[in-house]
Structures are given as structure tokens and as C-alpha cells.
Structure 1
Amino acid sequence: MDLLVDQRADVEAHLLRLGWIAADEPLLDLAKAGEGNMNRTLRARLPGRTLILKQAVPFVAKYPDIPAPVDRLDAEAAFYRAIAGHAALRRHTPELLGEDPAEHLLCIEDLGEAADLTRWYADGPRAGDGALLDTLVDWLGTLHGLDASAIGFPANLDMRRLNHTHIFEVPFDPANGVPLSGALGSQQARLARDGELLKAAAELGGRYLAQPGDCAVLLHGDFYPGSWLEQADGRVAVIDPEFGFVGPPEFDVGVLRAHLTFAGFKEDAIDAHLDRYRAPAGFDPAQARAFAGIEIIRRLLGVAQLPLAADDETRARWITEARRMVLS
């Protein structure tokens, strides 16, 4: 079964076989839900409700030439199950309604009219957005406070290997095929010859891929504005935990810090919001900043580009600062 908007009859029959819809619930419409990169994600409209359907395919949906592990939604389903008993997390996360491993398909609660917070990249934060950010920081601290050893979470190693390539290797390769301006291309070429930076990136990448250590926690794995939904009632929700794994908390916090920089939050404001984060024992703030630096470089020089309004001068300044963060 292919989850495509023009395959409504096949999708309806499959949902009926799974028991996800009733015989008297015709599938009225299938439409794209959001701007996700990895998977086919559609909204199924029924007479009295809507569902979100998500299917993994053996490539990145937005970039079909990039292979991706087709079992990646196993980790997403495991994540939803892991937090199901924790009201503070579940309150800001959609509910898993069904799982079809044979078709790599999930059925997820539809949160209704909502937009992700990638608007921050172009417009910056609005009045009141600080409260949304505080909720997200609190959510992350609660997630990292779970007893990861009791969860039995899958290693999700194939997804981590894919992510590792695009975070810690591809951005430093001038032949990666990403179109850059002359100034940024020159900066990338300098970074590609920067032995000290490359060594530090390799060490951080090794920590990302390593077996869980003493300070390992359950990670979201992609904690950035594209995974945060602002709902019509003003609440914020966290989605798309398919990159989740048990690993270093500094990775999630570093990714968060990097994207707050892109969103236009001032350094002192970022620090003030992150002061709310309930860090687990052994948390290393310097390593979180190093992961943030890598994420900044990755998003400016790698494949997964963002809809940033920043000019080249600002981007170059960010890269210079990111190098300092990695090496400090």
C-alpha cells in the first residue's frame, strides 16, 4: 500500500482492514500534512474526524536520491509508547493510534490547525513566543529525566548513521553538491582544511554513534522548530521523534541552542531560557555548545538547508562563531 493522495481507494481499504476506520466511515479526502522531509505524511479526512497517516519509504521523501532506513518509524512508535505514561510529555505530543510495521505505517492523532515554528527563521520570535520556548525547554528536561535504562528503546543505529553522515561529514566536504555563494563556498573550503575542527567534529560524531554512556538519556533526536507545532489554542506540541535514541543529552540541547541562534534569539536570552532545563547528572554544557556549533555549520553548509532570511555576512559570522563553539 502506497500512502499517496491519488491512492485514496487503496488507502481506505487498507485502513478498514487494519480496523483504524469503521465500515461506515468513508475516507473523504487525503491531503498533505505539513512540510516533513523524511516520510510521506498525509491527513485523512473522515466524516467526523481526521487522522494523520505517516509512511516510511526506503529513501528521504523530500530527497529521493538519499537512501534511508525503511524501519525508521519503529523508533517513532517506540518513542510514543515510552512517554505514554508521563502526562507532562504526553500533553505536548500527539497520541499514537495505530502501527502497521508491515507497511511501515503509523496512525497518529491529528492536532488540528497548527503550524510549525520555522516562521522564526524569517520573522524572529513574536511577543509571547518566549512562553512557547519555555514549555519546550521544560518538555525536553522532563524527557531527559526519564529512566532510559527501563525503557528498552531501540538503538535506531541506521538512522543515526544516516544523520551522522549529514551532520558530521557532508558539511565539511566542498564536493557535497550543495549550492553555496562564493563567500560561503570559500569558508567551507577553509573548514575542510581545518584539521583541529575536523578532529573535534569526528570526536563529537563518535559520541553521537557510541553505545549509551553513564549520562545517556532518551533523546528526541531532531529537536528544532520544524518539529514544534504551534496549535490554534496557543499550545505547542513536539512531533517527529523518528531520530530518537538513547544517547548524550548534550546533543538535543545543542541542536536547540543552534536553532535559537538562527531564530534571532540573543545569546543572553538563549542562556536565560536554557537555565530552565533540568540537566541530568553529568551533563556537560561545553559539549552542548560544541554540538550546537556543529549543527550551525551543518545547516549552513550541508544538505538540510533552512528557510533563513539571513544574508551571507550573517551566515559567515555564524560559521565563525560555530567553529569557536566546537573548539572551546
Structure 2
Amino acid sequence: MFILNANEPNELANYLQEHQWLGLDETVVSLSKPGEGNMNYVLRVDTGKRTFIVKQSRGYVEKYPQVVAPEKRVVTESAFYEKIATKINVQKYMPRLIGIDVENNVMVIEDLGNSNDFTTLYDLYHFLEADELKELVNYLNGLHHSFQKTILDDELANLELRKLNHEHIFHYPFMEANGFDLNSVQDGLQELALPYKKDATLKKQITLLGSLYMSKGKYLLHGDYYPGSWLKTSDGIKIIDPEFCYYGSREFDLGVLIAHLYLTQQDENLLSIVVTEYDSYTDLNLEILNGFIGVEIMRRLIGLAQLPLQMDLKQKKELLDFARTLILKK
């Protein structure tokens, strides 16, 4: 099996040429890491004439090697790219697929150039512009409404990766003893989290939301629509990393988006932009939407997938209480 390795440029060049992704007259001039990805091993290839991205998925999460993950996930991601390529209103926001090697779980995609993701928002000193949020919502408009199913089937079910995501969103953060000491993140966070982990009423509702997440739905979702998947480029906002994609309830994508507006303490006026710019917002199930918002806030504060939040315990408690209210519809 081919193993992607930044320390083996010649081996990579031979591999790329074998798959006709690199011309016989091209060489690998340099390899670099395009960003702080969590799930996969990703490299930017520079030939001196052009650049492109090579991504390989392995049987574990790259950032957390102790976490087992479906090794074929990049194959599902490539299928998403193939599907959205038919709709310019979605494709314009995303890199183009160049090729996929199913046997070795390697995907090659267009390089969007030098860019920064929006994780700087977590320092609580950076803020989204209204026009930026409109673009983020417009992407969801295109994705959700251009790819709807009338008959629910198993296309892009992404079941194994969704099971992993389900564990880390709806279950693991709310276990009283999950082996993750939150005090290693911030002193006092473990004690702060305990009442929510012991709240049977809260956990029952979260279980119901988790069941909905695992159910089939009619809308194609990005599946991980948070600031780490949003890029600011010279060509405008772009969206990457749809590996958690599936057909489900559109409230999930929107819920994650809105949750991170709260987590980054954006101006409340921005929330009205989501309401006015998202097509058919009034058709959404607002109880489910609020539930997904609340769960995403809570799992980011007391789960494994921590964010670089510059927030004290008092602020986190206020957010946790707010999230609990959203989930319990109170």
C-alpha cells in the first residue's frame, strides 16, 4: 500500500506520475502542510509550475491516532466532490476533484491557494463580516436545495464515519467517566461539566437528537460546517473538508453554523442574517434546529473536539446553560 509521506518526495512523484496526476516533465519541488487538519494526512504539492492538494485517509484520526476511524472516508469525500461538480452554485465554493485512488485511499484536489480558515474567530477578537456570513449561508442554500432526494436510499450514507461522529457529538461528551480529564484543558472545567453529565433529562433529549442525526434524510449536508471548514481566499470564501457528508436533516448543518456564531460570540445581529438569507427558513423544525445548536455548543465545550477558545469558566457556564435551554426547549 502507498503511504503518503512528506519526507519521501521522490516516491510521491513516482506515485503521482503512475496515476497521471503529475506530468512526466514535472517534478515535486516542495511539499508543505496546507493547514491544521484533524482527520487526514494532507500535503500541498508544488511542482514549480502549479500546486495541488493530496489527501490520504487512514484507519485512525490523524490528530488523535488513538481514535479509530473508517479508512475509506476519503472515497466518500471524493464522491461528494463528484456530485456537487454538476452545480455551479455549489462547485464555485469548493475545490475541484482531480482524481481518486480507491485502493490507497488517496484523493487529489485543486489547491485554493494561500488562505486562512476562520478558526481565528475563537480568540473572540475577530468577527465575521455580514457579507461573509451571507456567503456561508448561500453555500448551504445551494447544497441543500440543489441536491434533494424524494426517495431515501443509501447514496452517501457515510454510515461508519457518522457513527464515529455520533459518538463524539451525542455520547462521549456526556459520559461521567470517559477518560478525558477536562481539567487538562482548563482548570475547573471537569467540575463545571459534571452537572450536565449527570442531567438525565438533558441526556435523554440528546439521545433523541442523536437518533435523528443517524437517520436518513432528503438533503445533502456538508456534515462539519464550522470555521475550520471555511477558508478566506483571494477568490472569496471557500468551503473544504466535506468528509462527514450525508443525506440528512438540513437543521444539522445550520445548527452547527449557528452554534459557532455563539461560541465565537458574534454580534447577535448576525443571527438575523441566517434567518433572512437561508431559503425556506420558515419551513425548518426550530425545535430540532435549536437542539442541534445546543448539542454542538456543549460538545465543543466539554467533549474531546476542543477549540482554541479564549473563554473563562464563567463564560463557558453561561454558554452551557444556554445550550441546555435550547436542547430542552425551555
CA contact (8 A) 1:229 1:238 kept: yes
TM norm structure 1: 0.94
1:205 aligns with 2:216: no
C-alpha distance in 2 between matches for 1:274 and 1:147: 21
Q: How does 1:299-318 map to 2 (within 5 A)?
A: 299-318=300-319
Counterpart position of 1:163: 165
C-alpha distance in 2 between matches for 1:92 and 1:305: 27
C-alpha distance in 2 between matches for 1:249 and 1:310: 29
Runs of 5+ consecutive residues of structure 1 not aligned to the other structure: none
Paired letter, 1:179 = L
CA contact (8 A) 1:229 1:236 kept: yes
CA contact (8 A) 1:56 1:73 kept: yes
Runs of 5+ consecutive residues of structure 2 not aligned to the other structure: none
Counterpart position of 1:228: 230
C-alpha distance in 2 between matches for 1:185 and 1:174: 10
Counterpart position of 1:19: 20
Counterpart position of 1:256: 257
Q: How does 1:15-164 map to 2 (within 5 A)?
A: 15-126=16-127, 129-149=129-149, 153-164=155-166
Query: Could you report, residue by residue, the CA deviation over 1:140-180 in whole angstroms, capped at 9, with x for unpaired residues?
Result: 01211023328973210000000000000111123221423
Paired letter, 1:188 = A
C-alpha distance in 2 between matches for 1:236 and 1:38: 22
- Residue 194 of structure 1: which of 171, 196, 199 is its match? 199
Query: Could you report, residue by residue, the CA deviation over 1:78-99 in whole angstroms, capped at 9, with x for unpaired residues?
Result: 1111111111111111100111
Counterpart position of 1:219: 221
C-alpha distance in 1 between matches for 2:62 and 2:232: 24
C-alpha distance in 2 between matches for 1:100 and 1:286: 42
C-alpha distance in 2 between matches for 1:100 and 1:252: 28
Query: Could you report, residue by residue, the CA deviation over 1:254-291 in whole angstroms, capped at 9, with x for unpaired residues?
Result: 00011011122133421333321113785212211110
CA contact (8 A) 2:130 2:270 kept: no
Count of paired positions: 323
1:293 aligns with 2:298: no
C-alpha distance in 2 between matches for 1:260 and 1:249: 17
Paired letter, 2:35 = G
C-alpha distance in 2 between matches for 1:281 and 1:53: 40
**SS of residue in 2 equivalent to 1:66:** coil
Paired letter, 2:166 = H
C-alpha distance in 1 between matches for 2:221 and 2:125: 26
CA contact (8 A) 1:228 1:236 kept: yes
State the percentage of identical aligned residues: 37
**SS of residue in 1 equivalent to 2:107:** strand
Query: Could you report, residue by residue, the CA deviation over 1:212-249 in whole angstroms, capped at 9, with x for unpaired residues?
Result: 3xxx200000000000000034x000000000000011
Query: Could you report, residue by residue, the CA deviation over 1:44-86 in whole angstroms, capped at 9, with x for unpaired residues?
Result: 0102000100000100000000000001112211111111111
Q: Alignment RMSD, CA only?
A: 1.7
C-alpha distance in 2 between matches for 1:74 and 1:274: 34
CA contact (8 A) 2:75 2:107 kept: no
**SS of residue in 1 equivalent to 2:211:** helix
CA contact (8 A) 1:148 1:218 kept: yes
C-alpha distance in 2 between matches for 1:96 and 1:315: 40
Task: Flag the 1:46–1:237 CA change in 2: closer, same or farther, 3 A.
Answer: same
CA contact (8 A) 1:178 1:301 kept: no
CA contact (8 A) 2:21 2:99 kept: yes
C-alpha distance in 1 between matches for 2:294 and 2:248: 18
Task: Flag the 1:178–1:77 CA change in 2: closer, same or farther, 3 A.
Answer: farther
TM norm structure 2: 0.94
**SS of residue in 1 equivalent to 2:23:** coil
Query: Could you report, residue by residue, the CA deviation over 1:282-328 in whole angstroms, capped at 9, with x for unpaired residues?
Result: 52122111101000000000111001111111111100100001011
**SS of residue in 2 equivalent to 1:42:** strand
CA contact (8 A) 1:75 1:241 kept: no
**SS of residue in 1 equivalent to 2:277:** coil
**SS of residue in 1 equivalent to 2:255:** helix
C-alpha distance in 1 between matches for 2:7 and 2:48: 19
